[in-house]
Amino acid sequence: MSDAVIGAAAADAPEARWAMSEYFAELDRRFTHGFEVGDALDDAAAAFRPPDGVFLLARRGEAVVGCGGVQRVDAATAEIKRMWVSPDARGMGLGRRLLEALEAQAAGLGATRVILDTNGVLAEAIAMYGRAGYERIDRYNHNPYAQLWFAKSLR
């Protein structure tokens, strides 16, 4: 998907909120017990705000086809969250490009390590993380939807 452009956006911008809403709707469909959005949209707007966070949108022309955010957790660690690629844009390398862009943003925030969590039903994401060099780690949060936790050194 070389025609997709990835760039920073405000997480509370309408297009960013739309992309995250699509992401949450997909989680709700795929998770056995659904997904409760709650305050997640507002929390993202706060978490992915500079200087401690960045939110990215992937666009193909005028269409938003992906998103993801990264937030600094501590001086050396950043967490990748809310990564999503539109179903019609999958299988063309956009997920990998978006992940690499988020890792670059994490490094720009001063992180030397990135962490992320995911759910076991998201097999394609789990496979992508493995191919990208992520390793399984112990649980680091209390996310009720997370079943797997990963980390990668940026050095």
Do the Cβ atoms of 70 and 81 come closer than 8 Å?
Answer: yes
Owner of token pair 């969250």: 81
Q: Tell me, what CATH number does 142's domain have? A: 3.40.630.30
Number of domains present in the structure of the chain = 1
Distances (CA, A) of 20 to 15, 43, 48, 76, 85: 9, 11, 12, 26, 10
**pLDDT of residue 1 exceeding 50:** no
Please say if the pLDDT value at position 153 is more than 60.
Answer: yes
In this predicted structure, the answer to whether residue 124 has a pLDDT above a threshold of 50 is yes
pLDDT band of residue 6 (cuts 50, 70, 90) is very high
Range of the domain at 20: 5-153
Mean of per-residue pLDDT scores for the chain: 92
Q: Per-residue pLDDT tens for 57-67?
A: 999 999 999 99
Confidence of residue 17 (pLDDT cuts 50, 70, 90): very high
What digits encode the pLDDT tens for the residues 36-86?
A: 766 666 677 788 999 999 999 999 999 999 999 999 999 999 999 999 999
